[in-house]
Structure 1
Amino acid sequence: MAAWQSSSLTATEFTADLMTPEELERRADYIYHLLDGCDWAGPDPYDGLTSPLASLAIHPFLRQVLLQTVKRSPVDIRPWLAIRPLRTATACGLGATACSRFAASPLWHSRARQLGRWTATRQLRGRYAGLWNYEFDVQTRWGHYPASMPNIVATTFCADGCLDTGTLDGAAAESLATALLDQLYTGRHFAYTPASATLIHNANLMGAALAARLASLDGMRRPLASRLTDAARSAVSATAAGQRPDGSWPYGTSANLGWVDGFHTGYVLLRFDAASRGLGLEPNKVIDSGTRYYLDHLFDGSVPRYYADVKTARGGHARRDPNNDATAVRMAVWAEEHGYVRPGFADQVLETVSPALPGEGRAQTLYANALPGPPVRRSPRWSLAPLLDALTAFYVTRRAQ
């Protein structure tokens, strides 16, 4: 992949000191203890439909109103709505991947295996055997799916966590591969759920990267591996064809899914890269163009933007979202690793999104600020696990520099 420097970023001086691997591990350990202390359970931006009131919301509009009210309320109204903290397989799967990067440490290895084993137990049985689901019903702009239905995002994070920790046996991996193709592959791309054929680019590439990874597993039957490879190639081609001339991707192909945001674009690029490497494809202009767009339009200096080119929201304050911020750190690390930005950019992004705690200086910096603040900051799936993933990826990259 050709090195490239963003014009807007090269004009900015990044003055943050480079963090040592030891500092990054201390931060990761702090996040891990916060997650472990609450048993990886907490609020979720999309848990509104677990309220008993959801049974009254029979119309999609009413479901979305309930979900968005819970999600956007500055005060945590979950206790009033009888919404309980959730331990999600998605958060634990991502946590397993994050912890596995410290494989040389017996402590981190034990943490990774524990999370991986639990995640493996959440693999679905029955009609959707082999896949994973969310623990709550979801109503989106493009559709509704119940907690009983699997989706590609949960499946990818959970499967990667199990594969990274060696907690998915051969039979479970084959069941996953078969269901991925039979339930989530449309013949051209991977769908978000079995009930929707809409092309959602980040979801499609999550499926492509997972299919390519499964195809390479020792013991995967050759005919099944061949089907996985063909599906992954087709999915990569579908999203490559969906890239706009400026390098961006809309969230999806439907008329009401044309927005561009930071964390979904980050997912597209990370999974496009993973799928391409898994398929043995040469670096290409699609990734270069997409990365260029991401760095130029989804950062304001070192501040992540939620939507492309939108600097401020009402009140003059930039919209901040913990998942978008954590993904921005993960992407800044990836961009440094691939030569798109100078060393130090990822450090600055991390400092920007992480208010410092009193006590032990920046080694104790924590985005969630010891768990007070808006409920979304305390979400294991939406905030803390993605930040743990970004920190451990940063650790690996910094050690290699």
Structure 2
Amino acid sequence: MPSASSLLPKSPSTLSSAAIAKTDIYKSIERLVNWLEERDYRAFDTFDGLNAKFVRPLTFNNPLLRIVLQQGVRRFPLNLRPLLGISPERSTKGMGFLARGFIRLYQTTGEEVWRNRAESMLLWLIENQSPGYSGACWGNHFDYQSRSVFVTKLSPSVVWTSLIGHVFLDAFEQFENERYLQTAISACEHIVKDLGTYSEDDALCIHYFPTSTHQVHNANTLGASLLARVASYTHNYSWRELAEKAILYTAKHQREDFSWYYGEESNLHWVDNFHTAYVLDCFKYYGEATGDDRFDRQMMDGYNFWKTTFFLPDGTPRYYNHKTLPLDIQCSSQAIDTLAFFRNRDPESLSLAVKVARWTIDHMQAPTGYFYYRRYSRWIVNKTPTLHWGQATMFCALTGLYKALRESE
């Protein structure tokens, strides 16, 4: 990997604070990429506990026992996975975030090595779709038990599919490869044909899984944002209309303090950092793709709530609206990414993004280069190396911030 010194000024004593930030961020990216390459882009996942081949039979296919195993593996401060027979793997969402990060590095540096790595991961994603559906879609490489539904391995998620679909659109816009646009179009076919919707007056909510009926706002808006963005290329009015109705659903459910619950079922009534950021990104994608500014007020009210609620003065990203702990790497990565994305709407966003990045690099990045999963306190740290939840999302976020800082010079 090219060193930071090949892209940035060499004498720290002569650098501005912005240049120092770029240097520190690039060095962090460099350490992380080296760690990922040494492991062939494989690591653990936060929710891979049901892959515990030595213990899974003891759950007797009982949903409660599956939750106990899955959450026990996730929450225990030490990484139990090697002892339980869980191996590090590539994940579809992780490879999607990595591909987006490499696209961003190529956009920033023009170096072909980054394009080659991005396109290699895009090919892997094309070859590792979930089979048996109406279009391109992606899911987990493990079974997952939620509070409300059991999702089998490879079952597609609108969250995974939409985020990866956005990456293929990024790639099409950058590389002008028609195959990437067709893959994003195919993902929309899956959303429309395989996922149901919940109707409420003149609004609709896109379901999370093909088997799900719950109203979850980040899932709904992610599906809507991809439909809107693809429709801007295909001029598919029905997709544009579905996106509008889905955005309308979430806009109507914005709370009095301008926040959103994670979901509308009573057991989904919490407000957290990164799911709120997902929703904000999606409102912005929708508006930019369609030119429809009717939801700008809800978006910016939500953004200001998020920005003033979820960060401490030093850039520490809080998890919930009512408490800071645990300090979770996903809160850091999505915060950095969303702040960089909103830089054309908020002149202060990049300075806060740098604060969050500095805090995260100082407190969550291991000397070997990877990022820890969580801090529960000053002394209790879960150092499990997770792929999509940590390494891939932080790589994507830091490359996005680095790109934004370079463009703001």
Normalising to structure 1: TM-score of the pair?
0.85
Q: 1:92 aligns with which of 71, 88, 95?
A: 95
In 2, Cα distance between equivalents of 1:259 and 1:85: 31
CA deviations on 1:155-209 (whole Å, 9 max, x unpaired) are 1222223332346456544432221101124161211101112111111111011
Cross-structure match for 1:77: 80
Contact (CA 8 Å) 2:227, 2:243: kept in 1 or not? yes
CA deviations on 1:351-392 (whole Å, 9 max, x unpaired) are 112127xxxxxxxxx724424866665111100111111111
User: Equivalent residue of 1:355, what SS?
Assistant: helix
Cross-structure match for 1:341: 348
Greater Cα offset, 44-53 or 55-64: 55-64
* Matching of residue 249 in structure 1 with residue 233 in structure 2: no
In 2, Cα distance between equivalents of 1:51 and 1:128: 31
Q: What amino acid is aligned across from residue 306 of structure 2 in structure 1?
A: Y
In 1, Cα distance between equivalents of 2:349 and 2:153: 43
Q: 2:289 aligns with which of 272, 278, 294?
A: 278
Cross-structure match for 1:68: 71
Q: 1:182 to 1:372 in 2, by over 3 A?
A: closer
In 2, Cα distance between equivalents of 1:55 and 1:163: 41
CA deviations on 1:109-141 (whole Å, 9 max, x unpaired) are 111111111111112332354211111111112
User: Equivalent residue of 2:205, what SS?
Assistant: coil
In 1, Cα distance between equivalents of 2:307 and 2:165: 29
* Matching of residue 155 in structure 1 with residue 123 in structure 2: no
CA shift, 1:148, in A, is 3.1
CA shift, 1:26, in A, is 3.7
CA shift, 1:342, in A, is 5.9
CA shift, 1:29, in A, is 3.1
Q: What amino acid is aligned across from residue 79 of structure 2 in structure 1?
A: D
In 1, Cα distance between equivalents of 2:86 and 2:190: 31
CA shift, 1:341, in A, is 2.4
Q: What amino acid is aligned across from residue 211 of structure 2 in structure 1?
A: A
* Matching of residue 295 in structure 1 with residue 307 in structure 2: yes
Q: 1:171 to 1:107 in 2, by over 3 A?
A: closer
Contact (CA 8 Å) 1:17, 1:344: kept in 2 or not? no
Q: 1:319 aligns with which of 326, 330, 333?
A: 326
CA shift, 1:22, in A, is 5.2
Contact (CA 8 Å) 1:28, 1:391: kept in 2 or not? yes
In 2, Cα distance between equivalents of 1:232 and 1:376: 39
Contact (CA 8 Å) 1:96, 1:164: kept in 2 or not? no
Cross-structure match for 1:32: 33
CA RMSD of aligned residues (A): 2.3
Q: What amino acid is aligned across from residue 306 of structure 1 in structure 2?
A: Y
User: Equivalent residue of 1:189, what SS?
Assistant: strand
Cross-structure match for 2:45: 44
Q: 2:151 aligns with which of 145, 148, 152?
A: 145
Q: 1:180 to 1:368 in 2, by over 3 A?
A: farther
In 2, Cα distance between equivalents of 1:281 and 1:185: 25
Q: 1:17 to 1:253 in 2, by over 3 A?
A: same
* Matching of residue 107 in structure 1 with residue 142 in structure 2: no
Q: 2:280 aligns with which of 269, 279, 283?
A: 269
In 2, Cα distance between equivalents of 1:100 and 1:170: 15
Cross-structure match for 1:9: none
Q: How does 1:325-364 map to 2 (within 5 A)?
A: 325-339=332-346, 341=348, 343-355=350-362
Q: 1:125 to 1:296 in 2, by over 3 A?
A: same
Greater Cα offset, 48-57 or 104-113: 48-57
Question: Identity, % of aligned pairs?
Answer: 28
Contact (CA 8 Å) 1:185, 1:231: kept in 2 or not? no
CA shift, 1:211, in A, is 0.7
CA deviations on 1:208-242 (whole Å, 9 max, x unpaired) are 1111122123xx4x5xx222111111110011011
Contact (CA 8 Å) 1:90, 1:154: kept in 2 or not? yes
